[in-house]
Chain A
Amino acid sequence: MKKADNARRRETLDIAMRVVSGAASLIGIFFLGWILWTVARQGLAAFNIDFFTELPAPPGVEGGGLANAIAGTAIITLLATLMGVPLGLFTGVYLSEFGKSTRFGGMVRFTMNITMGVPSIIVGLFVYTLLVLPFKHFSAYAGAVALAIIMLPVVARTTEDMLNLVPNALRESALAIGMPRWRMIIAILFRAARSGLLTGILLAVARVSGETAPLLFTAMSSPYWMKGLAEPTANLTVTIFNYAMSPFDDWKQLAWGASLFIMATVLGVNILARTLLRERTK
Chain B
Amino acid sequence: MTRFHEYLSEHFETIFRWFTILCAGTVLLIMAGMFINLAWNARLAIGEFGLGFLWSDAWDPALNEYGAFSSIYGTLVSTLIAMAIAVPMSVVIALFLVELAHPTVSKVVGSAIELLAAIPSIIYGMWGLFVFAPIMAETVQPFLQETLGLEKVPGLGRLFTGAPMGIGMLTAGLILALMILPFISAVMRDVFAMVPPVVKESAYGMGSTTWEVTHKVTLRYGIQGIIGACFLGLGRALGETMAVTFVIGNAHRISPSLYDAGNSIASTLANEFAEASEPIYLHSLIYLGLVLLVMTFFIQLAAQWWVARLKKSMGAGL
Contact = CB atoms under 8 A, between A and B. Distances in A.
On whether the two chains bind one another, the answer is: yes
A116 to B, nearest CB: 8
A246 B242 CA distance: 15
Interface in B284-314: 286, 289, 292-293, 296-297, 299-301, 303-304
A120 B127 CA distance: 21
A35 B93 contact: no
Contacts of A217: 273
Interface stretch (B24-32, B56-64, B137-145): B24-32
Given A108-B24, A119-B238, A216-B270, A22 B100 contact: yes
A164 interface: no
Chain B contact patch, size range = 35 or more
What class of interface size applies to chain A in its complex with B?
35 or more
Contacts of B286: 125, 129
Contacts of A32: 112-113, 115-116, 182
A152 B109 contact: no
B104 interface: no
Interface stretch (B33-41, B65-73, B219-227): B33-41
A122 B292 contact: yes
Interface in A81-116: 86-91, 93-95, 97-99, 104-105, 107-108, 110-115
B194 to A, nearest CB: 14
Contacts of B211: 13-14, 17-18
A34 to B, nearest CB: 8
Nearest to A27: B89
Given A17-B92, A20-B92, A118-B34, A244 B129 contact: yes
Interface stretch (A64-72, A165-173, A187-195, A263-271): A263-271
Tell me the dominant secondary structure on chain B's binding face.
helix
Interface stretch (A49-57, A205-213, A223-231): A205-213
A10 interface: yes
Given A118-B296, A122-B296, A129 B26 contact: no
B209 A14 contact: yes
A25 B93 contact: yes
B12 interface: yes
Given A10-B212, A21-B92, A98-B17, A91 B273 contact: no
A247 interface: no
Contacts, number: 255
B49 interface: no
Interface of A: 10-11, 13-14, 17-18, 20-22, 24-25, 27-29, 31-32, 34-35, 38-39, 86-91, 93-95, 97-99, 104-105, 107-108, 110-115, 117-123, 125-126, 129-130, 133, 149, 152-153, 156, 180-182, 185, 206-207, 210-213, 216-217, 237, 240-241, 244-245, 252, 255-256, 259, 262-263, 266-267, 270-271, 274
15 contacts: A13-B211, A14-B209, A21-B92, A21-B100, A25-B97, A28-B89, A34-B127, A104-B21, A111-B27, A122-B296, A126-B34, A130-B33, A153-B27, A262-B120, A274-B111
Interface of B: 12-13, 16-17, 19-21, 23-28, 30-31, 33-34, 37-38, 40-41, 89, 92-93, 95-97, 100-101, 109, 111-116, 118-127, 129-131, 178, 181-182, 185, 209-212, 214, 231-232, 235-236, 238-242, 245-246, 266, 269-270, 273, 286, 289, 292-293, 296-297, 299-301, 303-304
